[in-house]
Amino acid sequence: MKHGKKNEIADILKKHNHFIISSHMHLDGDAVGSELALYLILKQLKKDVRIINQDKAPDVYDFLPCVQEILCSEDFAGKDFHEVRKYKILIVLDSSNLERIGNIGIETSQFDFIINIDHHASNSFFGKYNYINTDVSSVGEIIFAFAKLLKTNISLQIAIPLYAAIVTDTGSFRYANTKAATFKIAHQLVQLGVNPSYITNYIYNNYDLSSLRLLGEALVNIKLDPSLRISWTVISRETLCKTNAKDEESEGIVDKILSIKKVLVSVLFRETKDGHVKISFRSKGNFNVDKFAGKFGGGGHPNAAGCQLIGAVHEVCNTIISELQKELNLIS
């Protein structure tokens, strides 16, 4: 399902000259890839554009063109914001609500208006201009369409982050959001020079030893509920310290624990630096974790979603697992 007009947003991108691009906290491949692709598209149109997020881009995406252009709120800590005051339009990508972008170092009220581009069904339409397409695999697919609409040359520099956005948000074309159109776009990007093995090797075969140690700790601590339909594990600050791992290195663990036979839903609980608990959900079949996460202020996709809660990690864990058991009992 599509909401909003691409043409209307394309006209704004042509008409105006100063943009800031942002995305959700805890950046993933679709967020980083889409931001970089749109940045390069707007640069090609001779626009003045900057990318500013709450968090730094995960190291695994260091190979992407122009990734060094991504700034985070820390880069502006204690500084005068004079240099960013000329940017009056905020483009938010891959975020179902405005709160998900967190603190980017600039009050969103500073902007004349916000353009909201997303593919989540739970999007709250927080922009003055919204384009939400829930039929696509990723925001990367949407940015590809905008590149065509704006008649920009999709260079290899643009194609690489677009492919990275698509391949990560489809779980390497494994998730249910992978459609025929997804393969068609990926095919076009490969024709433009993208090397799939180059990108997937960087993303999936480029781990630090600390990542594997963290995975080992997470796997040792896997728990299953009595029905064997729910698996979960907890990553505490102590575990991250013990393995010398970064927060971002927990990415992908929730997918590993979903692979257990009979398990329908997997959950990863991770303590954050600021005392919150970040919760990632994955599911098989028809159990909609997007709707479930929505009960706790989160969201995502039917088979991949997340939320963030305040509280002691084990208390949050007990609450979530208890609620999941109730939901699964209703459909059994």
Helix crossing, 180-191 with 156-169: angle to 10°? 150
Residue 78 tokens read as: 């204690």
**Nearest residue to 54 (alpha-carbon basis) of 29, 25, 30, 90:** 25
Q: Cα–chain-centroid distance for residue 88?
A: 24
Q: Whose CA is closest to 66, among 41, 102, 95?
A: 41
Provide the CA 311 distance to its chain's centre, in angstroms: 23
The model's pTM is 0.91
CA 187/CA 311 separation, integer angstroms: 45
pLDDT in the model for residue 76: 66
pLDDT digits (tens, 9 = 90+) for 53-110: 999 999 999 999 999 999 998 776 655 556 667 889 999 999 999 999 999 988 899 8
The CA distance from 263 to 6, in Å, is 40
Which CATH architecture describes the domain 2-204? Alpha-Beta Complex (3.90)
Domain boundaries along the sequence of the chain: 2-204, 209-331
Q: Tell which CATH classification among 3.60.15.10, 3.50.50.60, 3.30.300.180, 3.10.310.30 matches the domain 209-331.
A: 3.10.310.30
pLDDT at 174 over 90: no
